[in-house]
């Protein structure tokens, strides 16, 4: 009988934590059941499972026209498999339909083999920070081994997870407890329509909430419209199937570290091969031609070498005409093909401006000069500016300042994400040859100057 009571004692709090917490808000008003708003809500929720799984686990949408328009959001935890994500979204949507019978706004964080979020409203909430606590729940059972140890390791784990979530919106991990063989496991997740700054702020407030409500508790959940955390002293659901291994000190070895260990030698070999190929091509050219070459970000040649490469700027080699002058196809003695831009004197542009054309236009607030006039006004200026802004962030001189591909995707699909200001872009090759400065004949032509850019891998 005592054993049976012990089993029941553990099952009850466990089940209470696994229950989904849906919130039906009355602040936005009420709708008539089976009316236009209710119909749009049902249509939107029915479309979410397929849309979310087809779009990397996150999707925002709207259905209908004002005043019965419904805004919706669906999201699954990073790394969720398609089936688990779809099932979780379906279950969460069904729960909202069942419990929010006439409320115009509802939110549901759900754990059903994975973590997911479904949200709907009669107003656009994308990018808005929702900080009201939807759920603050914890075990009544106190951790018996060492409460101070649990608190210390819990905070260490959360600091690490929030740091990871500040770039990925999601993190899961574990931390070894010094006083026992146990670990504390944690998951943090932000709604991916937030800015990364707001994501960090929301999760930090959850840590503050833990300090006031839940110290020493073996597990619990704190959720808000914009973020969610859960911790336990056991691995819960399937969120820890691919957790990073522990090193000998009981610390997590991050996936980034593992990737760096494996990828770094491969990258170094690839870079070495690319440099060898570049040097080989460089030597082949200089051995076949007596013209001096200076490498300083882009290659520059004697005018007669350019004339030979382009067949004296023959019209058959003309590729087009840009704002800085005509562009020709050229073939070097080693067989390499290059694009040659012949700068007109009236453009007022020299080699330095040519090399920094986009950066100059950015600083002068003249980005529209880059747009093909043939497009006329058939484009969204804000989208153009944002794309160029993101492109400049991708070529920052310090690789750590460049966004990841997943971050770029979110930047392009979520205009609520704030972009930081770019610094001047980096250039790969800046080595100058020991030969004399560039022959003045490059500047002596009556109407043109020449610059060739050879694109090199970063």
Q: Are 77 and 196 part of one and the same domain?
A: no
Q: Are 207 and 101 part of one and the same domain?
A: no
Q: Are 310 and 385 part of one and the same domain?
A: yes
Q: What is the pTM of this model?
A: 0.51
**Mean pLDDT on 316-337:** 73
- 């013209």: which residue's tokens? 291
Return the pLDDT at 416: 67
The H-or-E segment that residue 94 falls in is: helix 82-99
Pull the structure tokens for residue 70. Answer: 């419904």
Rounded-to-integer distance, Cα 45 and Cα 72, Å? 8
Tell which of 97, 121, 145 closes a domain. 121
Q: Are 320 and 245 part of one and the same domain?
A: no
Answer whether residue 298 is part of any domain.
Answer: yes
* DSSP symbol at 445: S
Q: Are 117 and 220 part of one and the same domain?
A: no
Question: Can you give the residue range of the structural domain that contains 109?
Answer: 12-121
Answer whether residue 232 is part of any domain.
Answer: yes
Residues contacting 147, CB < 8 A, separation 6+ = 215, 216
Whether 325 has a pLDDT exceeding 80, the answer reads no
The better pLDDT of the pair 251, 191 is held by 191
54 pLDDT tier (thresholds 50, 70, 90):
very high
214 pLDDT tier (thresholds 50, 70, 90):
confident
pLDDT tens for 216-274 read 777 889 999 999 999 888 888 666 665 554 443 444 444 444 444 444 444 445 555 55
Q: Are 162 and 60 part of one and the same domain?
A: no
Pull the structure tokens for residue 339. Answer: 């694009």
Whether 388 has a pLDDT exceeding 70, the answer reads yes
Whether 208 has a pLDDT exceeding 70, the answer reads yes
* Helix %, strand %, coil % of the chain (to 5): 40, 25, 35
Percentage of the chain beyond pLDDT 90 is: 32
Answer whether residue 277 is part of any domain.
Answer: no
Q: Are 249 and 347 part of one and the same domain?
A: no
Whether 47 has a pLDDT exceeding 60, the answer reads yes
CA distances from 409 to 22, 49, 88, 192, 428 (A): 30, 20, 24, 12, 25
Whether 370 has a pLDDT exceeding 90, the answer reads no
Kindly provide the b/e burial profile for residues 410-440, where b requires at least 16 CB atoms within 10 angstroms of the residue's own CB. Answer: bbeebeebeeeebeebeeeeeeeeeeeebbe
Residue 161 sits in a domain of what CATH number?
Answer: 3.30.430.20
Q: Are 34 and 100 part of one and the same domain?
A: yes
Residue 72 bridge partners (DSSP): 61, 120
Rounded-to-integer distance, Cα 81 and Cα 385, Å? 35
Q: Is 329 annotated as a binding residue?
A: no
Tell which of 69, 93, 121 closes a domain. 121
Number of domains the chain is built from: 3
User: Which of these ranges, 208-222, 296-310, 420-434, has the smallest mean pLDDT?
Assistant: 420-434
Answer whether residue 25 is part of any domain.
Answer: yes
Answer whether residue 259 is part of any domain.
Answer: no
User: Which of these ranges, 7-11, 279-283, 396-400, has the smallest mean pLDDT?
Assistant: 7-11
User: Which of these ranges, 146-155, 178-187, 367-376, 440-449, has the smallest mean pLDDT?
Assistant: 440-449
Q: Are 80 and 158 part of one and the same domain?
A: no
pLDDT tens for 108-142 read 999 878 999 999 999 999 999 999 999 888 765 55
Q: Are 16 and 104 part of one and the same domain?
A: yes
Tell which of 253, 279, 299 closes a domain. 253
The better pLDDT of the pair 402, 22 is held by 402
Mean pLDDT (the chain) is 74
Answer whether residue 264 is part of any domain.
Answer: no
Answer whether residue 376 is part of any domain.
Answer: yes
Answer whether residue 432 is part of any domain.
Answer: yes
Q: Are 335 and 401 part of one and the same domain?
A: yes
Return the pLDDT at 343: 64
Rounded-to-integer distance, Cα 92 and Cα 98, Å? 10
31: buried, middle or exposed (CB in 10 Å: 19+, 13-18, 0-12)? buried
Q: Are 443 and 370 part of one and the same domain?
A: yes
């Amino acid at each position: 009988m005592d054993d049976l009571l012990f089993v029941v004692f553990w099952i009850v709090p466990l089940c209470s934590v696994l229950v989904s917490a849906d919130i039906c808000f009355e602040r936005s008003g009420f709708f008539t059941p089976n009316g236009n708003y209710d119909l749009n809500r049902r249509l939107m929720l029915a479309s979410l499972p397929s849309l979310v799984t087809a779009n990397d686990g996150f999707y925002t949408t709207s259905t209908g026209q004002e005043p019965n328009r419904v805004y919706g959001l669906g999201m699954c935890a990073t790394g969720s498999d398609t089936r688990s994500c779809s099932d979780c979204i379906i279950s969460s949507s069904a729960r909202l339909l069942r419990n929010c019978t006439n409320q115009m706004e509802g939110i549901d964080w759900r754990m059903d083999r994975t973590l997911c979020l479904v949200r709907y409203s009669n107003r656009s909430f994308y990018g808005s920070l929702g900080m009201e606590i939807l759920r603050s729940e914890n075990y009544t059972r106190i951790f018996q081994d060492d409460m101070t140890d649990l608190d210390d390791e819990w905070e260490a784990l959360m600091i690490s997870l929030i740091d990871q979530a500040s770039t990925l919106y999601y993190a899961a991990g574990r931390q070894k407890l010094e006083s026992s063989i146990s670990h504390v496991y944690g998951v943090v997740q932000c709604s991916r329509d937030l800015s990364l700054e707001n994501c960090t702020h929301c999760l930090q407030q959850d840590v503050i909430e833990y300090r006031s409500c839940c110290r020493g508790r073996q597990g619990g959940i704190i959720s808000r419209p914009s973020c969610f955390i859960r911790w336990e002293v056991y691995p819960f659901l399937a969120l820890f199937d691919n957790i990073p291994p522990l090193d000998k000190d009981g610390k997590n070895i991050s996936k980034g570290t593992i990737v760096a260990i494996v990828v770094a030698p491969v990258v170094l070999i690839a870079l070495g091969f690319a440099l060898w190929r570049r040097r080989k091509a460089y030597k082949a050219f200089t051995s076949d031609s007596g013209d001096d070459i200076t490498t300083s970000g882009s290659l520059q040649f004697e005018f007669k070498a350019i004339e030979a490469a382009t067949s004296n700027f023959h019209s058959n080699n003309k590729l087009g005409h840009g704002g800085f002058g005509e562009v020709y196809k050229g073939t070097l003695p080693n067989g390499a093909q290059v694009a040659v831009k012949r700068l007109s004197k009236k453009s007022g542009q020299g080699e330095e401006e040519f090399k920094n054309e986009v950066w100059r236009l950015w600083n002068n607030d003249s980005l529209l000069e880059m747009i093909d006039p043939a497009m006329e006004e058939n484009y969204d200026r804000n989208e153009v500016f944002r794309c160029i802004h993101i492109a400049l962030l991708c070529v920052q001189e310090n690789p750590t300042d460049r966004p990841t591909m997943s971050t770029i995707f979110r930047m392009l699909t979520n205009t609520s994400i704030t972009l930081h200001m770019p610094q001047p872009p980096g250039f790969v090759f800046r080595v100058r040859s020991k030969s004399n400065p560039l022959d003045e004949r490059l500047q002596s032509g009556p109407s043109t100057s020449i610059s060739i850019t050879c694109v090199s891998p970063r």
